Structure 1
Amino acid sequence: MLTYKKILVPYDGSEHAKKALAQAVGIASAGKDAKLFIASVCNMVSAMSNFDQVSIAEGVLTTKLSEDLEEQCKSDLKEAASAMPEGIEHEEIYEVGSPGPVLLNMAEEHGIDLIVMGSRGLGPLKGIFMGSVSSYLVSRAKCPVLIVK
């Protein structure tokens, strides 16, 4: 059986992300000395682009949306970490940026053996991951990518 030592799990709180985390925990527990890297990537640009047609005289709305989104991303990461069973080594990673390139960089930076992610997320306002992010990683990652539905 293949064993993976370093597993990256993008997490945004969606049902698909929760299923992916459960799969990653199962894979890690079946191996020896495996470590999960739970990642939350806060995509501010995508969320703000949904408000292009809203006239914002002051930066208050933009600032409030940014703060809310960042708080939600950090909350999602805490949720994932609290769901980790005892005995599974894990590290939480939080970054702001475009999810595809940021996750790809994380994978390379940490020497990831496997990426386990949900097939879709919660959309640009609340969540981060969409089908396009999983497609991006499948086509560019140097390691295997497991897409969980």
Structure 2
Amino acid sequence: MMHVERILVPADGSAESEAAFAWACDLARYYDAEITLLYIVDTTKLGSLGLPGGPEKPEYFDHEQGKKILQTLCEKAPEGISVHTVTVYGDPGPDIVRLVDKHDINLVVMGSRGMGRVARWALGSVSTYVLHRASCPVLTVKADAQA
């Protein structure tokens, strides 16, 4: 039987990431595991320096949006579920994989956007990247999946 102590849930405010969090909460209760909620300010979308800016900069609002997303999900956590939050600036796929190793994560539960094969091939997919590179199991969840 799989032993799960730490679950990582990347959150982006989408219905898929909310569904993933619901699944993670059920799994955390079952395994008596803790959840790390992760928001990544995607620096691949920032300027060439990739530095966080002040209130007038778009990336500042990404950070503020991330805080709201994480807070909203934390408020939905059932009683008794331990949830920690992490916000990082970086490239979502590689940073999720890096955090899996850094925090000794046993399971990643993340949303799947449901892109078709052509879109996934042309654009790539964070969930596909993580699925193929993470050192632990990865559960992808669609928005309408019941936990």
Sort the Cα spacing of 1:31 and 1:131 in 2 relative to 1 into closer, same or farther, 3 A: farther
The ranges of structure 1 where at least 4 consecutive aligned residues each deviate by more than 2 angstroms after the TM superposition are: 44-49
SS at match of 2:129: helix
Q: Which residue does the alignment assign to 1:9? A: 9
Q: Which residue does the alignment assign to 1:134? A: 127
Judge conservation of contact 1:120–1:131 (CA < 8 Å) in 2: no
SS at match of 1:29: helix
Identity %: 38
Is residue 37 of structure 1 aligned with residue 69 of structure 2?
Answer: no
Post-superposition offset of 1:77 = 1.2
TM-score computed with the length of structure 1 as normaliser: 0.78
Give the letter aligned to residue 42 of structure 2.
N
> Structure 1 regions of 5+ residues with no counterpart?
50-59, 122-129
> Structure 2 regions of 5+ residues with no counterpart?
115-122, 143-147
Task: Work out which of the residue numbers 39, 46, 69 in structure 2 matches 1:76.
Answer: 69
Q: Which residue does the alignment assign to 1:56? A: none
Sort the Cα spacing of 1:46 and 1:77 in 2 relative to 1 into closer, same or farther, 3 A: same
Give the letter aligned to residue 141 of structure 1.
A
Is residue 28 of structure 1 aligned with residue 21 of structure 2?
Answer: no
CA distance in 1, matches of 2:40, 2:96: 8
SS at match of 2:66: helix
Sort the Cα spacing of 1:47 and 1:147 in 2 relative to 1 into closer, same or farther, 3 A: farther
TM-score computed with the length of structure 2 as normaliser: 0.79
Give the letter aligned to residue 106 of structure 1.
L
Provide the aligned length of Structure 1 versus Structure 2. 129
Judge conservation of contact 1:44–1:69 (CA < 8 Å) in 2: no
Q: Which residue does the alignment assign to 2:45? A: 46
Q: CA RMSD in A?
A: 2.3
Task: Work out which of the residue numbers 134, 141, 144 in structure 1 matches 2:137.
Answer: 144
